Chain A
Amino acid sequence: MDQVIHIFRKEFSAYFISPIAYIVIAIFLLITGWFFFATFFIFNQANLRTFYTLLPLVFAFVIPAITMRLISEEINVGSDEILLTMPVTFQDVILGKFLASVALVVAMLIPTFAYPLTVSLMGQLDWGPVIGGYVGAVFLAAAFSAIGLFASALTRNQIIAFIIGLAICFTLTLLDKMLYFLPRSLLSVFAYLGADFHFQNIARGIIDSRDLLYFVSVCFAGLYGAYLALLQRH
């Protein structure tokens, strides 16, 4: 566990040493802020619905950009040879990098607390769905980070890693909106696979174990995939 923390610390600070963190956070705030407040006064409702509707889609773009370098850069530079010949396991490496990515997303979400605060000044805000939404956002971020990490472990090229990660996250986000193409018997299965479906449940303020289980299993699948990809490489 010590090793996970050391790797986490190194990766997390690496985001802030390079301009990656600042650029990603700035773009994220710009997009969500713009789309949230552009329609906020038209709807004239004191809630964060539009913010949460948008969030999975923005995450599907932003998180693969955060995770794309995590493993593929190591493979490309060759520094994985240095890292993996120190007394660490694949699990330590993957977990440390995964946590760094989730932590960066959390750091990215913190400034958005300004939105509910602003809204609460203007009307009666129900804090339940807001808190639920943030909890859901962290779970969603973890799931997408795991997928991004898996994509990053597949290739030495960061751009390919980004596109693979984006493709998977994007599909999971839009899956439950594409259901009318599917036969009725498969509906419930595909509805369950959609990330947005589960996220919106939590964002309504209902924290259901089924939704949490979904995110945990996506995390596990992604991280295990990354582990297998690394194992295969050696």
Chain B
Amino acid sequence: MIEVENLTKYYHTLCAVDQINFDIQKGEILGLLGPNGAGKTTTLRMLTGYLQPSSGNIHVKGLSIDKHILEIKKILGYLPESAPLYHDMLVFDYLNYVAAIRKINSDQKLARIRRLADLCGINEVMHQPIGELSKGYKQRVGLAHAMMNDPEVLVLDEPTSGLDPNQIVEIRKIIKEIGKEKTIILSTHILSEAEATCDRIVIISQGKIVADGSTENLKRSAGGKNIMHLSLQNADFETVQKSLASIKGIEHVSCLSETPGALNVRLSYLSTGDLRPDVYRKIKKTDWILLDFHQETQSLENIFRQLTKES
């Protein structure tokens, strides 16, 4: 659906986006992640034709963006960061104007606006000036704007920034809903959001792609070591260490804390297989009381921090 090849953007001498490559399949929800100033917005702006790339190319449905920009704009819907809309226009007038520019027939226009108003929940503010709306409502009007032409590709730049938790859940629901048939690209720096809504995640740092894949894949590839936590009663560290270290695969056994009530132990092992059954069998043979036993999963946050700090 979309191919990005060696995309580069310089602002004067500052390199904002540095030779990035990725493809987006039809019907995919792609999350663009990265710390502030990583080049997310710049990438999206080039994707929507607002900025011209310094070099590299983008193809949308086989159309090259430097030659067929108008055709691409027709199948694209874009919600810029913080939804910059015309402040003195009424919401209805604004959507009407967008519908006209999007060349929606006048007999379908009203029905289309009404449907979008229902979908985005802006019925009650239709006759208010946009400048007087709260941030959340502005964002929704922006979303309605982006979906006016029933776009095949929807590009959302931080769609949930500045919204309250209820609105965030609602917007995510809308995104999931639309994402069933449409291709969506959204940028965010909220990791849980990317995890909850996206099929695939691309992490950008300092203008370069540092990771690309589904959340599970990212977690697996970034894995390295697995960590297990044990909390035992009626046991002393030395015997525990001796007995658990004998399990094949365990690299290191360390004591986190030792109180009369409980001994907290941390096991680390290479993430080749699951060692939990072995550990359990070992414990079963002793008279230790097992209070707690869990494996630490590599969270997306850890991966993100690792990848974006390194570069």
Contact = CB atoms under 8 A, between A and B. Distances in A.
B98 A85 contact: no
Given A2-B103, A6-B100, A234-B50, A85 B73 contact: yes
A82 B85 contact: yes
11 contacts: A6-B97, A6-B100, A10-B89, A17-B88, A79-B85, A81-B78, A85-B78, A85-B80, A87-B70, A87-B103, A234-B52
Nearest to A7: B101
B56 interface: no
Nearest to B129: A17
Nearest to B155: A85
Contacts of B276: none
B224 interface: no
Given A17-B89, A81-B84, A87-B102, 4 more contacts: A6-B101, A77-B84, A85-B50, A85-B73
Given A86-B73, A89-B70, A79 B100 contact: no
Nearest to B100: A6
A3 B101 contact: yes
Nearest to B47: A85
A82 B77 CA distance: 10
A80 to B, nearest CB: 8
A82 B88 contact: no
Interface in A1-53: 2-3, 6-7, 9-10, 14, 17-18
Interface residues of B, number: 27
A107 interface: no
B87 interface: yes
Given A14-B88, A77-B87, A78-B84, A84 B98 contact: no
A201 to B, nearest CB: 40
A54 interface: no
B59 interface: no
Contacts of A81: 45, 50, 78, 80, 84
A81 B48 CA distance: 9
Interface residues of A, number: 21
A105 to B, nearest CB: 21
Interface string B90-117: 0000000110111100000000000000
A86 B45 contact: no
Contacts of A85: 48-50, 73, 76, 78, 80
A148 to B, nearest CB: 20
A88 interface: yes
B180 interface: no
Counting from the closest, the 7 A-B pairs by CB-CB distance are A78-B84, A87-B73, A85-B78, A81-B80, A85-B48, A6-B100, A87-B74
A198 to B, nearest CB: 36
A82 B70 contact: no
A105 B310 CA distance: 59
Contact of A234 (B51, B70, B76): B51
Contacts of A14: 86, 88-89
Contacts of A234: 50-52
Interface string A59-82: 000000000000000000111011
A81 B102 CA distance: 15
A84 B72 CA distance: 12
Nearest to B145: A82
Nearest to A13: B93
A57 to B, nearest CB: 30
Nearest to B70: A87
A79 B79 CA distance: 11
A18 B87 CA distance: 11
B84 A88 contact: no
B89 to A, nearest CB: 7
Contacts of B101: 3, 6-7, 86-88
